[in-house]
Amino acid sequence: MTKQEFLRELEEVLEADASSINGDETLAELGSWDSLAVMTFIAMVDEKFGVTLAASKLADAKSVGDLIALLEDKISG
Amino acid sequence: MQAFISAIEYDLPEGLLTNDMLAAEFPGWSVEKIEEKIGVGIRRIAAKDECASDMGVRAAEKLFASGACSCENIDYLLFCTQSPDYFLPTTACLMQDRLGLPKSCGALDFNLGCSGYIYGLGLAKGLIETGQANNVLLITAETYSKHIHPGDKSVRTLFGDAAAVTLIQGMSEAEQKMGPFVYGTDGSGGKNLIVPTGGFRTPRTVESAQVVEDEQGNFRSQDNLFMNGSEIFTFTLRTIPKSVKELLTLSGKSLDDIDLFVFHQANKFMLEHLRKKLNVPEEKFFMSFQNYGNTVSSTIPIALSDAQREGKLKPGALVMLVGFGVGFSWGATLLYWV
């Protein structure tokens, strides 16, 4: 998956407007990054990447960049 | 001798907690979003002086009134709860007396949550098929609402109180009606669904009762239920598909052989994801949390009872049951519905 495709998936998880996330945001800035969004993100990653993220690592993520880093070898560009 | 489920009844407390009630208490909490994701519309909440055992006794009385079995014929009572009446005596012993079960009856409590029904069936099968008992009453009952802080909207949204009773009897047949069983335990996950105080490890104090707000705006003290939802979800993703495969291998069945899947009714989001991951068709995957919420160890028997009433569970049907949760603990089995 490319970085742009990942960002579109993330927008869907957060029910954000299309192309509203550019990858430089902190999760706090996104506003809707709550416990339900975290679960939805875990489900999306499981479905699209076949990876079950460690919830503890996800809890440490502070930015969109940190989320991408969790999937570094699976996201290109 | 083959153990089988011969009857199920359940009891719900009268108290209601609707999404509108939650919205009134928590302005800004998106009721529509929660209902769409979690799938729960109403939870039933026990009264202040109403214990899990009270609901369990009522459920059992319904079962006896239905004519499924007479109370004099029960020779073993298994009570699954994490909300006992007392540290001691054993709540099942008190229930033996309240239900008028014979004094020759065995009775014990076991402390498990969302996996408890599978473990109870496994224990009942062992008792019956080794000739130790003929008519086992398995009661599951929980009042998680009493563990939950009123200001913790995350768990108040999910959990409801309920009790269910299952009568397990024996029949002289060669073919197995219940089993095989797959079990699993990972105590390293214990901290992710816990009431931290109140046992002897961490007794309750004035300090432990102090309420704090978490990052999500939920309020709770150390004396309340804490749930780390994302840890529970990833545990489920890691263990449940594997357990389903193990059970199919052990039984020599394929996914297509199963007529109905009845999983622990955690919530819509989790179950929908598991269903898709396992490639189970929607019509074979029973869901029944809309009017109860997550009732812990009673979700599976309530779902079985509802499925039967809705005509989705016919005699001869092969049913897969999967329970998972607090512990972490999980279990799965197959039933031939009789």
CATH of residue B81's domain is 3.40.47.10
Please state, in angstroms and rounded to a whole number, the distance separating the CA atoms of residues A50 and A73: 13
* Domains of chain A with bracketed CATH: 3-74 (1.10.1200.10)
Helix (H, G, I), strand (E, B) or coil at B202: coil
Same domain, B137 and B207: no
Q: Quote the CA–CA distance of A40 and A34 in Å, as a whole number.
A: 10
Are residue B160 and residue B265 in the same domain, yes or no? no
Instruction: State whether B273 and A47 contact (CB < 8 Å).
Output: yes
SS3 A44: helix
- Please state the rounded mean pLDDT for residues A46-69: 90
Distance from CA of A25 to the nearest CA of B (A): 19
How much is the average pLDDT of B151-167?
A: 96
Residues B147 and B199 in one domain: no
* pLDDT at B133 exceeding the cut of 90: yes
Task: Judge if B268 and B295 occupy the same domain.
Answer: yes
pLDDT at res. A33:
85
Taking an 8 Å cut-off on Cβ atoms, the answer to whether B216 and A47 are in contact is no
Output B323 or A14, whichever has higher pLDDT: B323
Catalytic-labelled residue, pool B19, B135, B218, B294: B294
Question: What pLDDT is attached to residue B155?
Answer: 94
SS3 content of chain B, % helix, strand, coil (to 5): 35, 25, 40
| B154–A35 CB contact, under 8 Å | yes
Mean pLDDT is highest, among A34-43, B26-35, B198-207, for B198-207
| Three-state DSSP class for residue B219 | strand
Res B281: pLDDT: 97
- On chain A, the residues whose CB falls within 8 A of the CB of B269 are 36, 39-40, 43
| Residue B18: pLDDT band with limits 50, 70, 90 | very high
Q: Is residue B272's pLDDT more than 90? A: yes
**What are the residues of chain B with a beta carbon less than 8 Å away from any beta carbon of chain A?**
33-34, 37, 154, 216, 228-231, 233-234, 237-238, 269-270, 273, 276-277
Q: Please tell me whether residues B250 and B192 are part of one structural domain.
A: yes
Shortest distance, CA B161 to any CA of chain A (angstroms): 23
Tell me: pLDDT of B28 over 80.
Answer: no
Amino acid identity at A8:
R
- DSSP states along B271-336: HHHHHHHHT--GGGB----TTT-B-GGGHHHHHHHHHHHTT---TT-EEEEEEEETTTEEEEEEEE
pLDDT band per the 50, 70, 90 thresholds, residue B219: very high
Q: What is the pLDDT of residues A3-50, one digit of tens each?
A: 899 999 999 998 888 888 988 889 888 878 888 889 999 999 999 999
- One domain, residues B20 and B136: yes
> A17-34 b/e with 16+ CB inside 10 Å = b?
eeeebeeebebeebeebb
Cβ B169 vs Cβ B18: under 8 Å: no
The residues of A whose Cβ lies within 8 A of any Cβ of B are 34-36, 38-40, 42-43, 46-47, 52-56, 58-59
Final residue in a domain of this structure, among B171, B190, B206: B171
Q: Are B187 and B327 in contact (CB under 8 A)?
A: yes
The residue written with tokens 């996201």 in the block is A75
**β-bridge mates for residue B294, sequence order:** B159
What pLDDT score was predicted for residue B160? 98
How close A43 comes to chain B (CA, Å)? 7
Residues B245 and B98 in one domain: no
Distance between CA atoms of residues B257 and A76, nearest Å: 41
Identify whether residues B132 and B183 lie together within a single domain: no
Enter the tokens of residue B301: 């028997």
What is the structure's pLDDT at B137? 98
The answer to whether the CB atoms of A46 and B216 lie below 8 A apart is no
pLDDT value of residue A31: 76
Task: Give the tokens for residue B24.
Answer: 């009134």
- Catalytic residue flag (residue B264): yes
Residues B116, B16 contacting (CB under 8 angstroms): no
* Residue B228 annotated among the catalytic residues of the structure: no
Give the pLDDT band (50/70/90) at residue B246: very high
Give the 3-state secondary structure of residue B92.
helix
> Residues B222, B147: one domain?
no
Q: Nearest chain B residue to A31 by CA: give it.
A: B216
Please compute the mean of the pLDDT values over residues B225-231 and round it to a whole number. 95
Question: Of B132, B148, B171, which residue sits at a domain end?
Answer: B171
To the query of whether residue B134 is one of the catalytic residues in this protein, the response is no
**Nearest C-alpha of chain B: how many angstroms from A21?**
21
Q: Could you give the CA distance from residue A24 to residue B131 in angstroms, rounded to a whole number?
A: 67
Q: Do B124 and B188 have their domain in common?
A: no
Average pLDDT, chain B: 96
Predicted confidence at residue B36, as pLDDT, reads 87
Which residues have CB under 8 Å from B201's CB, separation 6+? none
Q: What is the dihedral of CA B315, B317, B322, B323, to 10 degrees?
A: -10
Number of cross-chain residue pairs from A and B with Cβ atoms under 8 Å apart: 44
Residue B30's CB: how many other CB atoms inside 10 A?
14
CA distance B155 to chain A (A): 11
pLDDT above 90 for B313 = yes
> Encoding tokens for residue A41?
């993100």
- Span A53-71, mean pLDDT? 90
> What's the confidence (pLDDT) of residue A20?
87
pLDDT at B37: 87
Q: Where are the beta strands (DSSP E) in chain B?
A: 2-11, 15-18, 42-45, 76-80, 106-110, 135-142, 162-171, 178-185, 193-194, 212-213, 219-220, 226-227, 260-263, 318-325, 329-336
> Do residue B33 and residue B167 come from a single domain?
yes
Q: What is the pLDDT of residue B298?
A: 98
ipTM: 0.89
* Strand residue runs (E) in B22-148: 42-45, 76-80, 106-110, 135-142
Label residues A44-70 b or e (16+ Cβ within 10 Å = b). bbbeebeebbebeebeebebbeebbeb
Angle between helices B229-251 and B268-278 (to 10 degrees): 40
Last residue of a domain, one of B171, B195, B214: B171
**CA–CA distance, B27 with B49 (Å, rounded to integer):** 29
* pLDDT in the model for residue B81: 98
Q: Which of A58-67, B221-230, B238-247 bottoms out in mean pLDDT, i.e. has the lowest?
A: A58-67
Per-residue pLDDT band for B262 (boundaries 50, 70, 90) equals very high
Within 8 A of A52 by CB-CB distance, chain B residues are 234, 237-238
Stronger pLDDT, A3 or B201, i.e. the higher one: B201
Q: Report the C-alpha dihedral over residues B56, B267, B37, B189, rounded to 10 degrees.
A: 120
Residues B196, B130: one domain? no
d(CA A16, CA A12): 6
Q: Which of B51, B80, B105, B114 is catalytic?
A: B114
Tell me the percentage of chain B whose pLDDT exceeds 90.
94
Q: Of B34, B216, B233, which is closest to A39 when you measure between CB atoms? A: B233
Q: How many domains does chain B have?
A: 2
Cis status, amide bond into B203, omega within 30 of 0:
no
Enclosing domain of residue B106: 2-171
B277 to A54: CB separation less than 8 angstroms, yes or no: no
Nearest CA to B234 out of B135, B101, B161, B324 is that of B324
